[in-house]
């Protein structure tokens, strides 16, 4: 107990309370939006679950903030095995698809909530990538180094697709990879080669790998002749846009949105929470959401930029990359400019596992703020294993 209070006092002295305050502000805003979006069907349970997840998330924020990043780096193999085990569980009786066709959730009888392994793997992947890149720090652009990094990306993405069949959520791992390798100093030539390779592979993927429904998610972005009345492929995006447009500058008011309060927008408290906010709080409410999220991302980048340690800096940039991709994907989906891939809006969308893991991920950033570099007796040259 004494050790617990000692760690708690240390957190309040050294932890990133500014980042925590921004996260709590966004969460409070999100709970208010969820309460309004679920009002037609009964808001109490959703709000209670979200608040409980926030409390658990803050606990994980404090715990992860108290653990030295080097500890995770030294147990990289354990993290890789943990990711693989977690994803393999999706093909067991514990795996659940909730009617989406993607087996992306784990449901355990004794737990009152389900778990999305990809959310947890997002945190561990950032730590794995930071550890791999730190072990190759002095030759991060060499062929063995780049292949080592690509191996871990393909291992995680491949396992996730095979086990869950959810290709969309795997994109977040690719974006984390791009953000961390760019911030870590990998030479530009590798990005050009990767871009050329992807461009060359697109015709094959389009013709032989992607299903028709996946192709339609892209086609509707540029082909207005596809489902112009919004009865099939364009159903969700058009309803989202109509909901956003109904808010004007200041919105119709919380618990007063024409579409939101009649439950006319699909997934209005999860995937399309941004559109719900747009109708009820208007353009100004949407700006407030984006400003809050931008401040959180900038804080992650600021903490990383201030750290002289390569490993810790990469952890912060990896967390910022994950947030940026989720924000861009979700808001872009609500605006109809990006494909629907089912990523939540951080802190605002309803979802306990998503909220808890985001707090845990940002707890790593708080840990870097508390310990921007290793103690002198802990400094060593990390082997390239």
Residue 8 lies in a domain: no
* Mean local confidence (pLDDT), 304-315: 94
Considering only residues 167 and 280, tell me which one the structure prediction assigns the higher pLDDT: 280
* Mean local confidence (pLDDT), 2-20: 76
Q: What does each C-alpha distance from 305 to 71, 179, 183, 184, 347 come to in angstroms?
A: 21, 14, 10, 12, 24
Task: Please provide the size of the chain in residues.
Answer: 385
Provide φ and ψ at 341, rounded to 5°: -125, 5
The Cα 234–Cα 358 span in angstroms is 30
So what's the pLDDT on residue 310? 93
Alpha helices, H only, 136-257: 143-164, 167-183, 188-204, 212-219, 235-245
Considering only residues 213 and 4, tell me which one the structure prediction assigns the higher pLDDT: 213
DSSP symbol at 75? T
Q: How confident is the model at residue 320 (pLDDT cuts 50, 70, 90)?
A: very high
Q: How confident is the model at residue 339 (pLDDT cuts 50, 70, 90)?
A: confident
Residue 291 lies in a domain: yes
Q: Are 314 and 180 in contact (CB under 8 A)?
A: yes
pTM of the model as a whole: 0.91
Residue 366 lies in a domain: yes
Q: What is the mean pLDDT of the chain?
A: 87
What helix, strand, coil percent values describe the chain, rounded to 5? 70, 0, 30
Total of domains in the chain: 1
H/E run at residue 50: helix 44-66
- What percent of the chain is modeled with pLDDT above 90? 50
CB under 8 Å to 341, separation ≥6 — which residues?
168, 169, 171, 217, 329, 333
Residue 380 lies in a domain: no
* Mean local confidence (pLDDT), 219-237: 74
Paired residues of 95 in beta bridges: 106
Residue-range definition of the domain harbouring residue 61 = 14-372
Residue 176 lies in a domain: yes
Residue 6 lies in a domain: no
Among 184-198, 238-252, 293-307, the least confident range: 238-252
Residue 382 lies in a domain: no
Residue 3 lies in a domain: no
CA-nearest of 328, 326, 322, 282 to 304 is 322
Considering only residues 347 and 109, tell me which one the structure prediction assigns the higher pLDDT: 347
């Amino acid at each position: 107990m004494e050790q617990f209070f000692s760690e708690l006092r240390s957190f309040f002295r050294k932890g990133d309370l500014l980042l925590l305050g921004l996260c709590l502000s966004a969460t409070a805003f999100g709970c208010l939006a969820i309460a309004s979006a679920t009002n037609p069907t009964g808001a109490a349970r959703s709000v209670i679950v979200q608040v409980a997840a926030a409390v658990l998330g803050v606990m994980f924020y404090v715990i992860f903030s108290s653990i030295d990043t080097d500890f995770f780096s030294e147990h990289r193999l354990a993290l890789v095995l943990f990711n693989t085990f977690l994803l393999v569980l999706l093909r067991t009786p514990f795996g659940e698809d909730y009617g989406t066709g993607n087996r992306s959730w784990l449901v355990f009888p004794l737990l009152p909530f389900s778990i999305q392994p990809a959310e947890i793997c997002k945190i561990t992947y950032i730590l794995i990538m930071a550890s791999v890149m730190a072990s190759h720090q002095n030759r991060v652009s060499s062929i063995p180094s780049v292949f080592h990094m690509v191996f871990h990306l393909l291992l995680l993405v491949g396992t996730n697709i095979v086990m869950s069949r959810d290709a969309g959520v795997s994109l977040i791992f690719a974006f984390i990879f791009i953000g961390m390798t760019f911030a870590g100093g990998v030479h530009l030539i590798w990005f050009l080669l990767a871009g050329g390779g992807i461009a060359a592979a697109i015709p094959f993927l389009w013709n032989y790998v992607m299903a028709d429904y996946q192709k339609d998610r892209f086609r509707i972005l540029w082909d207005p002749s596809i489902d112009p009345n919004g009865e099939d492929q364009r159903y969700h995006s058009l309803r989202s846009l109509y909901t956003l447009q109904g808010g004007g500058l200041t919105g119709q008011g919380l618990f007063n949105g024409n579409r939101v309060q009649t439950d006319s927008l699909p997934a209005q408290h999860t995937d399309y929470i941004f559109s719900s906010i747009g109708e009820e709080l208007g353009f100004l409410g949407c700006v407030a959401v984006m400003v809050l999220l931008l401040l959180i991302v900038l804080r992650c980048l600021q903490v990383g930029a201030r750290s002289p340690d390569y490993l810790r800096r990469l952890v912060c940039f990896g967390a910022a990359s994950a947030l940026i991709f989720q924000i861009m994907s979700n808001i872009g989906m609500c605006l109809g400019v990006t494909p629907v891939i089912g990523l939540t809006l951080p802190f605002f969308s309803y979802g306990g596992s998503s909220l808890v893991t985001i707090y845990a991920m940002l707890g790593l950033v708080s840990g870097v703020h508390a310990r921007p570099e290793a103690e002198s007796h802990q400094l060593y040259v990390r082997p390239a294993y």
